[in-house]
Structure 1
Amino acid sequence: MTSTTSPGRSFEHELVLHAGPEALVDLMVPFVRDGAAAGDEILVVGEPAFVDAMLAAVPDVAGVRAVPQAGRERFPGRDLHRFQQVLTTLDATRSRVRVVNQMPAMSELQWQEWRRYEAAANYVLAPYRVLGTCAYDTERLDHTMLEDLSASHEHVLDGAGRRPSGRFADLDEHIGGYLDLPPHPIEATPPQLALHDPSAHAARRAVHELGTAAGLPPAAIQAAVLAVSETVTNGFRHGRVPVSVKVWTAGGRLTVTVSDSGQGPHPLVGLCAPPLDSPSGRGMWILHQLIADLHHRTDRHGYTVRFSVGLDSPLHS
């Protein structure tokens, strides 16, 4: 993984802070028009109502690629890979791409993964000729979120204008604490099932049986089975025994933790695809495109992966 500040970067990453969709449209109209005048490709991503408003505000700009997406359907691993796929297609034109990206509303728990997304974008999208904006409503941000965003974006744009982010140079160091997180509250409750040093086969069978008993959709069960197989295998291969699996079923959801006593992976695990010839790492990357509710944490006891699927899971199809 290369430094975010390497001279070979083509990707420019800009944080946009706004006070609601109307203010965001006002901020982005000059951005879109300047890009069109320069011959850039324009990509607008966000809630359907925002995308419609953005297009209506620039009727004189032709060829804008609109990607309306409800926030509840978006999650970091899928978003990052889809951006990469779109940019690979547009990159063939050799034009620069300008991206207006209205970020979805997110809970504090979801933020743990979205901040990793923002950091990982600097590595994954570095080769592409892109000026990408990530737009956040300031009413939904706290001080810690703003610190994370300032570290992962080169520039900041708001009503006062555009300015460099002085914290961007420290991103490689800043992400070091991204996995230092507390356990999820469910982990303080007795699990329905606990397995110690199980084989991947035993873990798959147990999760399949519990998911079926809970009445989960086949796609959700299949995702959970794949995830527990991959994480248990990783625990033995890359971590340190003992490896433990715990499972909870409540409220129409199946939640699984897989823990080992190792030091854990890189803080951006699962979001940066390994090279095609790499012998490992691709399984976790696939899981991050498949499962929305997937988290990593480390503490003095070791490393834990937690994932959850349910009736409402926005699983990749």
Structure 2
Amino acid sequence: MPPPGGRDPATGSAPPGYRHDALVYADVDELVTIVAPWLLDGLASGDAALIAAGPRTAGPLRDAVGNHPQVLVAERHALYRARTPTALTAFRRYAEEHAPPGRRLRVVGETDYGTTPADWREWQAYESVINTALGPWPLWGLCVFDAALPAPILDSVGRTHPQLVTAAGRATNPDVVDPATYLGSLPVPDEPLEATPPALADDDISDYAGVRHAVRGLLGTIDGPADLLEDFLMAVDEMTSNAVRHGAPPAGLRLWTAPGRLVATIRDSGSGLEDPFAGYGPAHGADLSAGGMGLWLARQLCDHVAIRRDAHGVSVRLSTSWS
């Protein structure tokens, strides 16, 4: 197929760009009644389809559209409980591999928002970011939301989806918020560990190599999955390096530990990281040799990444948990 935004060499037509719709459903019967005809209409017109929903909804939807060769079914957690940049990459790959030339891949997506406000924030941000990040890709996403979800999640649906779908049809959403504005408005949840003494602190880093060695030594004492601890070490190292090399001094690091949980805050005195989409892709696109990968890597290596600004500078909070 042609690249995103390119033209099909056989027909000369440009593939359509991204559409992002939302449906809030009361029960599975309502979901199937609205979504199945949308999928079948797409298949009849030459689109392909992907169902990435929870088991309670994926099965009935698959049954409603039959054993059609253009319908893919993905395990929801493989997409939505991975980190947000990973989900973006996965949907781009699905579009590149499965959208027919000049047509779209229609996606029924049921995001797993997790169980905590920090989880919710990550995926609320994602739902807004994809309006920009997936713009050139031939995808038509219909995000479906159980009406029993927590109120903050349902409120965010109306702020992040340009079109809303009901039994009456598809309509423009007048309440959608520009992604950059929306991302800037999302509050950062409190982290209780930050109110306790840190296990490691250096508020004016002068010996970056020494700090890195101290972090590695501390994490080496933690009883947790080795790969997760190594990921967290890499994320802390990347963000501390960025603060020391590119931020305004002084740069500092604080790290907290608790059973099954790690939190680190890296701060500098500058005003960097002003791009609201920072970290949702490499800063220089496909040219990974150009650098600018620190925040992008951190978002893939940690459960939660929160950027905060105040009169003293900018900070990045990283957190990871395990059971």
TM-score if structure 2 supplies the norm length?
0.83
Higher CA-based Rg: 2
Alignment of 1:292-311 (within 5 A): 292-311=303-322
Which of 100, 103, 120 is equivalent to 1:95? 103
Partner of 2:46: 39
Partner of 1:315: none
Amino acid at match of 1:11: Y
Alignment of 1:111-126 (within 5 A): 111-126=120-135
Amino acid at match of 1:192: A
Q: Secondary structure at the match of 2:121?
A: helix
Q: Secondary structure at the match of 1:70?
A: helix
Residues 216 and 94 of structure 1, relative CA distance in 2, 3 Å threshold: same
Alignment of 1:98-109 (within 5 A): 98-106=106-114, 107-109=116-118
Aligned residues: 303
Identity in percent: 29
Q: Secondary structure at the match of 1:187?
A: helix
Contact 1:208 1:221 in 2 (8 A): no
Partner of 2:4: none
Residues 170 and 247 of structure 1, relative CA distance in 2, 3 Å threshold: closer
Partner of 2:8: none
The separation in 2 between residues aligned to 1:149 and 1:300, in whole angstroms, is 32
Shift of 1:101: 0.2
The separation in 2 between residues aligned to 1:21 and 1:208, in whole angstroms, is 49
Partner of 2:63: 56
The separation in 2 between residues aligned to 1:286 and 1:88, in whole angstroms, is 23
Residues 115 and 16 of structure 1, relative CA distance in 2, 3 Å threshold: same
Structure 2 spans left out of the alignment, 5+ residues: 1-14
Q: Secondary structure at the match of 2:183?
A: helix
Partner of 2:9: none
The separation in 2 between residues aligned to 1:49 and 1:139, in whole angstroms, is 14
More deviation, 246-255/287-296: 287-296
Shift of 1:96: 1.2
Amino acid at match of 1:46: A
Contact 1:235 1:260 in 2 (8 A): yes
Amino acid at match of 2:31: L
Amino acid at match of 2:95: L
More deviation, 263-272/166-175: 166-175
What whole-Å deviation, never above 9, does each CA across 1:289-310 have from its counterpart, x for those lacking one?
2322332222333322222234
The separation in 2 between residues aligned to 1:147 and 1:311, in whole angstroms, is 29
Alignment of 1:157-176 (within 5 A): 157-168=165-176, 170-176=178-184
Alignment of 1:231-270 (within 5 A): 231-265=239-273, 266-270=275-279
Contact 2:306 2:317 in 1 (8 A): yes
Q: Secondary structure at the match of 1:213?
A: coil
Runs of 4+, deviation exceeding 6 Å: none
Partner of 1:129: 138
Amino acid at match of 1:212: G
The reply on whether 1:70 has 2:77 as its aligned counterpart is yes
Contact 2:232 2:301 in 1 (8 A): no
Which of 214, 222, 225 is equivalent to 2:233? 225
Residues 238 and 182 of structure 1, relative CA distance in 2, 3 Å threshold: farther
Amino acid at match of 1:128: W
The separation in 1 between residues aligned to 2:69 and 2:45, in whole angstroms, is 13
Amino acid at match of 1:121: I
The separation in 1 between residues aligned to 2:18 and 2:64, in whole angstroms, is 26
More deviation, 164-173/33-42: 164-173
The separation in 2 between residues aligned to 1:213 and 1:165, in whole angstroms, is 51
Contact 2:303 2:321 in 1 (8 A): no
Structure 1 spans left out of the alignment, 5+ residues: 1-7, 313-317
Contact 1:259 1:302 in 2 (8 A): yes
Amino acid at match of 1:161: G
Residues 288 and 20 of structure 1, relative CA distance in 2, 3 Å threshold: farther
Residues 116 and 46 of structure 1, relative CA distance in 2, 3 Å threshold: same
Amino acid at match of 2:236: V
Partner of 2:286: 276
Shift of 1:262: 2.3
Shift of 1:213: 1.0
Amino acid at match of 1:129: P
Shift of 1:156: 0.7
Partner of 1:290: 301
Contact 1:98 1:130 in 2 (8 A): yes
Q: Secondary structure at the match of 1:134?
A: strand
Amino acid at match of 1:47: G
Partner of 1:17: 24
Residues 217 and 170 of structure 1, relative CA distance in 2, 3 Å threshold: closer
What whole-Å deviation, never above 9, does each CA across 1:94-135 have from its counterpart, x for those lacking one?
431100001114332212211221121122211112111122
